[in-house]
C-alpha cells in the first residue's frame, strides 16, 4: 500500500520596523537612497564605534508582540551571531538568542471560511544586513545602506500543513503588522520577507521529517509555489528510497524549482555570546501598557464587526486590507452617521477605490471622507440620484469643492415634481400601449422600460423611486 505523506511547515518572517533611524545608530533607515549614503562608523563597524539601542524600535517590537499575544520578558539580551558574509561588515550580526524579548504567542488566520490557529515560538529583535548588488559592470558590489535597519524575526511553530495555510498565515501576519504601524508589508522592497521550513512525513506519524529551509521568498505566490515544489521534491526522494538532506535552498521562480544554497545547516556554529557593548534590555511595565493602549482594532475584528452590520464578507475583506481604507470608511461614517455603514462601504468599494493609491502605510484618495459623507447624504435626502452621485463624484475628485455646491452649479438636482413626471408617464403610456398592457397583465419587468424612458427624457435627473410609484398608480387607474 503506497505511503501518503503530509507536509510540516513553519515560517520565519523578517519584518523591518518602521523607524526613521537604524537599530543601533542615527543613520536614516530608508529605501531608495544612493548606495552607501546612509552609513556611519557604527553600521560600518569601524573600530571604537559603539551601538546604542533605538528606543522607538523597541516600542514597535513590543507592540507587535502584544498584537500577537506573546509574553514580554522583563529583561532580554542582545547576542552576537558570528558568520562571514560580504554584506556584514562586523563579521557578526547583533540579534537575540537564548533570551529574546518575547515568546509563546499565536496567530489566528482564515482559510476557506475556516478559522485556524498556529503557534508563534518567539519574536526577537535583530539588525538587518547590507545588500549584495550583482552585475555592476563585471563585478558585484555591496550596498550597506540597509545594514543596521531594525528587524523583528517572528518564528512560527511547525503547525502549518499546506502551502495554502502558509500563505494565509503570512497574509494574516502581514495585515496585523501593517494595521499596528509596525511594518509597511512591502514584499517587493524586502521589508517583509519569509523563510519557510519544510519537511514531510507519513500521514499519522508524529515524528518530524528532515527539515529544509527555503530562504528569502518575496511574494505570496512564490511562497506557495516554492513550498509546493519542495514538498513534491522531498516526497519524490523518499519514494525513490533516498534520504532528504537537511540544507538551505533557494527558489528559482523562472524554472519553478528549489536549488541548494548551503548544506548541513545544523553544523553551522554561530558562536552566539552576549554582546559586550550592549547592556541587557529592560522593558518596564509602563512601556508595555502604553503600547497595549496604542493597539488598534485588528483587521479580523473589524471584518467581523462590519459583517455583523450588514456588509458583504467580500467587501469587508477588501476594505480591511489597508489601515488607510479602514480609517476612511470610519471617518466618513462619523461625518454622516445617519447613512449607515453599508452605503458608505459600497460607495468606497465601487467608486473611491478606483482612484486610491497605496504605498506602504500611505494611502491617498481623490476625495476626503467629509466630501464622501456629504455626497452620499445628498443621495439619501433625494436631492440627487445614485447615477448623478457618480457624475458629482467625477467633478469632485482632487478638489476641495463641496458636493452640494457642484450639484447647484451643474443643475444636477433630481426632478421630483410629481405633476411633471406624471404628465410624462401618461404620454409614454399612450405612445407604448403594448408595453403598458403587458405591465397590466403582470409582466413586472416592463416597469423598467417606463422608468428607463423617463430617466432618458429627464437626462437621468428624475427620482426613480417616485417614477415607479407614479407608474404603479397610473397603470392601476386604467
Render pLDDT for 440-475 as a digit per residue (tens, 0 to 9).
877 888 888 887 887 787 766 777 777 787 777 877
User: Which among 30, 5, 6 is positioned nearest to 18, based on CA atoms?
Assistant: 30
219 and 277 part of one domain? yes
Task: Please say if the pLDDT value at position 419 is more than 80.
Answer: no
State the CATH number of the domain containing residue 427.
1.10.10.410
How far apart CA 396 and CA 402 sit, in angstroms, is 8
Dihedral of CA 125/130/131/132: which sign? negative
55 and 157 part of one domain? yes
pLDDT digits (tens, 9 = 90+) for 286-315: 999 999 999 999 999 999 999 999 999 999
Residue 292 lies in a domain: no
258 DSSP 8-state letter:
E
- Domain termination site, one of 363, 383, 410: 410
102 and 156 part of one domain? yes
406 and 423 part of one domain? no
**266 pLDDT tier (thresholds 50, 70, 90):** low
How far apart CA 200 and CA 215 sit, in angstroms, is 18
pLDDT digits (tens, 9 = 90+) for 27-69: 999 888 999 999 999 989 899 999 999 999 999 999 999 999 9
Write down the pLDDT at residue 262.
82
Say how many CA atoms lie within 13 Å of 131 toward its Cβ: 18
The boundaries of the domain holding residue 455 are 418-477
Model confidence, pTM: 0.86
User: What is the average pLDDT value for the chain, to the nearest integer?
Assistant: 91
How far apart CA 58 and CA 76 sit, in angstroms, is 11
Determine the longest span between alpha carbons in the chain, in angstroms.
Answer: 99
Are the beta carbons of 42 and 90 closer than 8 angstroms? no
302 and 277 part of one domain? no
- Domain termination site, one of 287, 320, 349: 287
Residues 6 or more apart whose CB falls under 8 angstroms from that of 429 comprise 436, 450, 474, 475, 478
How far apart CA 442 and CA 458 sit, in angstroms, is 27
Which residue carries 458583504 as its cell?
312
Dihedral of CA 301/306/308/314: which sign? negative
Are the beta carbons of 214 and 249 closer than 8 angstroms? yes
Task: Please say if the pLDDT value at position 417 is more than 70.
Answer: no
Write down the pLDDT at residue 188.
87
Residue 402 lies in a domain: yes
Residue 377 lies in a domain: yes
Write down the pLDDT at residue 414.
61
Instruction: Report phi then psi at 473, rounded to 5.
Output: -65, -45
Task: Please say if the pLDDT value at position 265 is more than 70.
Answer: no
List alpha helices for 240-368, DSSP H.
Answer: 285-294, 299-308, 313-319, 323-335, 341-350
Are the beta carbons of 412 and 461 closer than 8 angstroms? yes
- Domain termination site, one of 356, 382, 410: 410
Q: How many domains, in total, are found in the chain?
A: 3
281 and 392 part of one domain? no
376 and 265 part of one domain? no
Average confidence (pLDDT) over 89-104: 96
Residues 6 or more apart whose CB falls under 8 angstroms from that of 56 comprise 17, 19, 20, 21
Residue 13 lies in a domain: yes
153 and 131 part of one domain? yes
458 and 392 part of one domain? no
**79 pLDDT tier (thresholds 50, 70, 90):** very high
Which residue carries 504567542 as its cell?
105
- Could you tell me where the beta strands, DSSP code E, fall in 63-113? 71-72, 75-76, 78-82, 92-96, 102-111
Residue 146 lies in a domain: yes
How far apart CA 83 and CA 53 sit, in angstroms, is 22
Task: Please say if the pLDDT value at position 416 is more than 70.
Answer: no
18 and 45 part of one domain? yes
Write down the pLDDT at residue 11.
98
Query: Percentage of residues in the chain with pLDDT exceeding 70?
Result: 96
Say how many CA atoms lie within 13 Å of 204 toward its Cβ: 2
Helix (H, G, I), strand (E, B) or coil at 167: helix
pLDDT digits (tens, 9 = 90+) for 357-411: 998 899 999 999 999 999 999 989 888 888 889 989 999 999 999 999 998 888 7
Dihedral of CA 142/143/147/152: which sign? negative
194 and 210 part of one domain? yes
452 and 402 part of one domain? no
How far apart CA 61 and CA 179 sit, in angstroms, is 14
Amino acid at each position: 500500500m503506497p505511503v501518503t505523506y503530509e507536509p510540516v511547515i513553519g515560517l520565519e518572517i523578517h519584518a523591518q520596523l518602521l523607524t526613521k533611524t537604524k537599530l543601533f545608530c542615527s543613520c536614516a533607515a530608508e529605501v531608495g537612497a544612493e548606495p552607501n549614503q546612509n552609513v556611519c562608523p557604527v553600521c560600518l563597524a569601524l573600530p571604537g564605534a559603539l551601538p546604542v539601542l533605538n528606543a522607538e524600535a523597541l516600542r514597535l517590537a513590543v507592540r507587535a508582540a502584544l498584537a500577537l499575544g506573546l509574553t514580554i520578558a522583563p529583561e532580554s539580551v542582545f547576542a552576537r551571531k558570528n558568520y562571514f558574509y560580504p554584506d556584514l561588515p562586523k563579521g557578526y550580526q547583533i540579534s537575540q538568542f537564548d533570551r529574546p524579548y518575547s515568546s509563546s504567542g499565536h496567530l489566528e488566520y482564515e482559510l476557506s471560511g475556516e478559522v485556524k490557529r498556529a503557534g508563534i515560538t518567539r519574536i526577537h529583535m535583530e539588525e538587518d544586513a547590507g545588500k549584495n548588488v550583482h552585475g555592476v559592470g563585471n563585478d558585484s558590489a555591496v550596498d550597506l545602506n540597509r545594514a543596521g535597519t531594525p528587524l523583528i524575526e517572528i518564528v512560527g511553530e511547525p503547525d502549518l500543513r499546506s502551502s495554502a495555510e502558509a500563505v494565509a498565515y503570512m497574509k494574516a501576519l502581514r495585515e496585523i503588522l501593517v494595521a499596528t504601524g509596525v511594518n509597511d508589508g512591502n514584499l517587493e522592497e524586502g521589508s517583509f520577507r519569509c523563510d519557510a521550513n519544510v519537511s514531510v512525513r507519513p500521514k499519522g506519524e508524529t515524528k518530524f521529517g528532515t527539515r529544509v529551509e527555503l530562504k528569502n521568498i518575496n511574494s505570496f505566490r512564490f511562497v506557495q509555489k516554492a513550498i509546493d515544489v519542495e514538498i513534491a521534491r522531498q516526497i519524490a526522494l523518499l519514494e525513490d528510497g533516498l534520504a532528504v538532506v537537511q540544507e538551505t535552498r533557494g527558489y528559482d521562480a523562472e524554472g519553478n524549482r528549489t536549488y541548494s544554497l548551503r548544506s548541513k545547516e545544523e553544523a553551522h556554529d554561530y558562536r552566539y555570546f552576549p554582546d559586550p557593548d550592549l547592556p541587557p534590555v529592560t522593558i518596564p511595565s509602563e512601556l508595555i501598557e502604553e503600547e497595549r493602549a496604542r493597539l488598534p482594532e485588528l483587521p479580523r475584528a473589524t471584518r467581523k464587526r462590519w459583517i455583523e452590520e450588514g456588509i458583504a464578507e467580500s467587501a469587508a475583506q477588501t476594505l480591511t486590507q489597508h489601515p488607510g481604507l479602514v480609517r476612511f470608511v470610519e471617518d466618513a461614517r462619523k461625518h454622516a452617521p445617519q447613512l449607515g455603514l453599508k452605503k458608505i462601504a459600497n460607495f468606497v468599494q465601487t467608486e473611491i477605490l478606483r482612484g486610491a493609491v497605496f504605498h506602504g502605510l500611505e494611502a491617498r484618495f481623490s476625495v476626503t471622507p467629509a466630501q464622501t459623507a456629504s455626497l452620499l447624504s445628498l443621495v439619501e435626502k433625494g436631492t440627487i440620484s445614485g447615477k448623478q452621485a457618480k457624475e458629482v463624484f467625477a467633478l469632485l475628485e482632487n478638489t476641495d469643492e463641496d458636493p452640494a455646491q457642484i450639484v447647484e452649479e451643474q443643475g444636477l438636482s433630481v426632478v421630483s415634481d410629481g405633476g411633471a413626471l406624471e404628465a410624462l408617464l401618461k404620454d409614454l403610456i399612450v405612445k407604448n400601449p403594448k408595453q403598458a398592457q403587458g405591465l397590466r397583465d403582470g409582466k413586472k419587468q416592463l416597469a423598467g422600460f417606463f422608468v428607463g424612458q423617463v430617466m432618458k427624457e429627464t437626462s437621468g435627473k428624475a427620482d426613480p423611486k417616485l417614477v415607479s410609484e407614479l407608474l404603479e398608480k397610473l397603470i392601476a387607474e386604467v
